[in-house]
Chain A
Amino acid sequence: DSGVTQTPKHLITATGQRVTLRCSPRSGDLSVYWYQQSLDQGLQFLIQYYNGEERAKGNILERFSAQQFPDLHSELNLSSLELGDSALYFCASSVEYDKILLWQYFGPGTRLTVT
């Protein structure tokens, strides 16, 4: 158990819909990262938050957005869903020491299926 929790574990929805994925980082970790893992594209970094503020953006579509709340949990919102958005979505958290990112702890993931 990494200490990072994600809900829901599975999500099935239709094209055009909107969903919200939730992540709670390990106790004490200020950084939260979101990744998308699909069969054909591997692990794609989407976005990072640090203590409530966006820190880095990766290959995140405009239809996707995220935020980190004061209690440090994060939500990833996916809208106007397409079949190609079907994937595993992972959240990770990490500790920083003297502004250096240490290793990440990953949650178990949310499997999104768009039909």
Chain B
Amino acid sequence: GDSVTQMEGPVTLSEEAFLTINCTYTATGYPSLFWYVQYPGEGLQLLLKATKADDKGSNKGFEATYRKETTSFHLEKGSVQVSDSAVYFCAQNGNQFYFGTGTSLTVIP
């Protein structure tokens, strides 16, 4: 069935380091793909999305490209900041929404 698998955390990086969080999906159809971010004590917020193959979603310096050939949607940021510390969830919208288990990111100064 449809599912999302993302990189286990926690991830700890120094400020200005490069970030990659891996996400792969399985789907019977052609879902849209999403990254959500959850800051401490808050609900999930949509970070970026891509609706079809080869689309690139981007927001706040984060990017992810919908790769149909590798069924992946990896999240990247070139230079992380302390304020990026949060939990990141990959998701897809098949007949319902499927979320990954979340990856906790801590950025240290």
- List the interface of chain A (C-beta within 8 A of B): 2, 4, 33, 42-43, 45, 48, 55-56, 58, 90, 92, 94, 100-109
Residues of B within 8 Å of A90, CB to CB, are 43-44
Q: Is the interface of A mostly helix, strand, loop or mixed?
A: strand
Q: Is the interface of B mostly helix, strand, loop or mixed?
A: strand
Shortest distance in angstroms between B97's beta carbon and chain A's nearest beta carbon?
6
How many pairs of residues, A versus B, come closer than 8 Å at their CB atoms?
51
Residues of A within 8 Å of B34, CB to CB, are 103
A108 pairs with B42, CB closer than 8 A: yes
Shortest distance in angstroms between A108's beta carbon and chain B's nearest beta carbon?
5
Contact with A along B22-64 (1 / 0, CB 8 A): 0000000000101010000011111001000000000000000
Contact of B46 among A42, A48, A101, A103 (CB under 8 A): A103
The complex places the Cα of A109 from the Cα of B57 at a distance, in Å, of 26
Q: Knowing A43-B99, A43-B102, A45-B99, say if A100 contacts B93 (CB, 8 Å).
A: yes
